[in-house]
Structure 1
Amino acid sequence: MAPSLNRRPGFSRRAQYGLFIGYVLAVGGALIAVALLLLSTLNPPAFAVVRGAFSEVTTPIASGLDWMRRGISSVPGGVSSFFGVRSENARLKAELEANRTLVDRARVVSQDNRRLRAMLKLRDRVANPVVAARLVYATGSSTRRFATLNAGSWQGVRVGQPVRGPDGLIGRVIEVSPNTARVLLILDPESIVPVRRIKDGLPAIAAGRGDGMIEIRSAGAAQVLFEPGDGFVTSGTGGIFPPNIAVAIVTARARDIARAQATVSPDTLDYALVQQSFFPEASGIRAREAAPQ
């Protein structure tokens, strides 16, 4: 059978309309191209206006397509950058942790350096130092308050000698062995230190309370008013403690008996300075009499 001469694309109207529109677009495009060619040849200024209008229309579309192209092309780089940033972040965190450890060590060394410098200045300032020793132990929770020094009779430490830090009085030596010494702290209830008020020289007694505080009692006059901030130093009475060593500061207003804070806490000290007694002979007798049995 001979093939049909009908070349129509089937009986689908959609296919027929598509073919027709394609022909129209092709013919229209050819006509527009011819018109533009003639316009560019015969009237270049008018062609420039038309070209500018087309540029205004196509530029935003081209920019959008270019942005999409660049965005899609940057996806692999972004993924690799993400994993690179994660690894870099982990490395920086590890480095920061190592640096934090070094900073903490440097702070500890700096604090120790400041304390040692303060102790050296104190030793140079005090006229009769015996030895600078480490406080290896101090009771902080018991009602009895003692401390241990890593220096003893072989280093010149004797019973009755006062022990102080850069900021004030710590206590006095009550027991001595060849390389260690036991110190009765001023916070202990058995500790009695003659003191005077800085602002007017009022004589008083500083006694430990056993709870980390000190009790200031008037030594003479009755109805004495103590004000917060009143500072007390050793008076030199009794022959054990040299005068003018800081002891305590009153924390609340009171009459005759006031609660005070010690100017130095043995728990925060690494080193202490042992001094000669103010009057060695008298202080030795009193120290032996006052030493606990």
Structure 2
Amino acid sequence: MAPARDRRTGFSRRRQYGAFLGYVLMVAGTLVGAVLLVVSTFDPPLFAAMRMAAASITAPVSSVLDAGVRGVASVPEAIGTWFRVHGENAELRAQLKRQQALLTRARIIAYDNWRLRGLLQLRDRGAEPVVTARLVSSTASSGRRFAILNAGRFQGVLPGMPVIGPTGIVGRVLETGPIAARVLLVTDPESLIPVRRTRDGLPAIAAGRGDGSVDIRSVNATNVRFAIGDMFVTSGTGGLYPPGVPVARVSANGIESATAIPFAAPDSLDFALVEKPFMPVPARPPAAATARP
């Protein structure tokens, strides 16, 4: 019997083409990674522009996928909530009765505060909202903590603007693209937020740890004791974040520093509000006109 011309019996052309395509993609990916590494090393501004351009392209796709995942994930939660609604209703009614006295006291304090501010002729400076956008992705495995916002320069978002969620401070805008922005989260090691303790006004600094939590550090006082449950809000110092916005709650006792959990978890947020800085940087004075001879 004559030998077969093709000795690779049983090996289809589809598998050959698939293997060849895999090698091509591997080589192309290696080359692209090398080019990006060189660009990030020798030209960081160009690399940042390329990164934000890629984020602007992927942000709409991430928004659609995120909306679909949230919609599917909300079905079991809605079913479980329907079964628990009766018991929760009775519990909430009892809680409302218990907190009625606290609510009345809070209203009295708010009225006294308003009256005293009027007497002192003080005026609160309110931050101006820019846009409400969705956090479509966030880092979870690296030492840095960033998130992508599906709004950019076209929507008026600029670097340095604070990002606030329904439950507290999320972070601040670090970089912006046409329709996407990169947000530095409060848990990032480069994040520092001036805060104060709600029960006594103690000033402190909330510094990110890079692991999903923050460090609360005393500023001026020594031997300061932090207890579990201490709540910290923004103080307004520095002019970036408006005062009184929740930041974190202490999760472990400590002296001069303690670990705290942020109120706003980026992974659980649907939307976030981008605001102008609480105290905008004043504009530069116009240059003096050159005297004509």
TM-score band by shorter chain is 0.5 to 0.7
Q: Which residue of 2 aligns with 1:128?
A: 128
Which residue does the alignment assign to 1:254? 254
Return the alpha-carbon distance in structure 1 between the equivalents of residues 74 and 154 of structure 2: 39
Q: 1:104 aligns with which of 68, 75, 96?
A: 75
The amino acid of 1:107's aligned partner reads A
Sort the Cα spacing of 1:191 and 1:129 in 2 relative to 1 into closer, same or farther, 3 A: same
**Residue identity in the other structure for 1:260:** A
SS at match of 2:210: coil
CA offsets, 1:147-205, max 9 Å, x none? 01010111111111000110000000010111111000000000000000000110000
Contact 2:234 2:242 in 1 (8 A): yes
Higher-Rg member (1/2): 1
Q: Secondary structure at the match of 2:133?
A: strand
Q: For residue 200 of structure 1, what is the aligned residue in structure 2? A: 200
TM-score normalised to structure 2 length: 0.54
Residues in 2 aligned to 1:103 and 1:160: alpha-carbon distance in whole angstroms: 33
Q: Any stretches of 5+ residues in structure 2 without a counterpart?
A: 1-71, 82-125, 284-293
The separation in 2 between residues aligned to 1:237 and 1:282, in whole angstroms, is: 16
**Equivalent residue letter for 2:156:** G
Deviation at 1:128, TM superposition (A): 1.6
Contact 1:147 1:183 survives alignment (8 Å):
yes
TM-aligned CA deviation for residue 270 of structure 1: 1.9
Higher fraction of helix: 1
2:270 is matched with 270
2 CA distance for matches of 1:102 and 1:278? 36
Cα distance between partner residues in 1 of 2:73 and 2:206: 43
Q: Is the 8 A contact 1:240 1:282 kept in 2?
A: no
- Map residues 78-117 of structure 1 onto 2, 5 A cutoff: 104=75, 107=78
Distance 1:142 1:201, change over 3 A: same
Q: Which runs of 4+ in 1 moved over 4 A?
A: none
Match of 1:116 in 2: none
8 A contact 2:127–2:276 mirrored in 1: no
- Confirm or deny: 8 A CA contact 2:127 2:242 kept in the other structure: no
- 2-structure distance, mates of 1:252, 1:177: 39
On the 8 A contact 1:168/1:247 being kept in 2, the answer is yes
Contiguous gaps of at least 5 residues in structure 1: 1-100, 111-125, 284-293
* TM-score calculated relative to the size of structure 1: 0.54
- Correspondence for 1:114: none
Superposed CA RMSD: 2.3
Change (3 A) 1:237 1:142: same
What's the counterpart of residue 165 of structure 2? 165
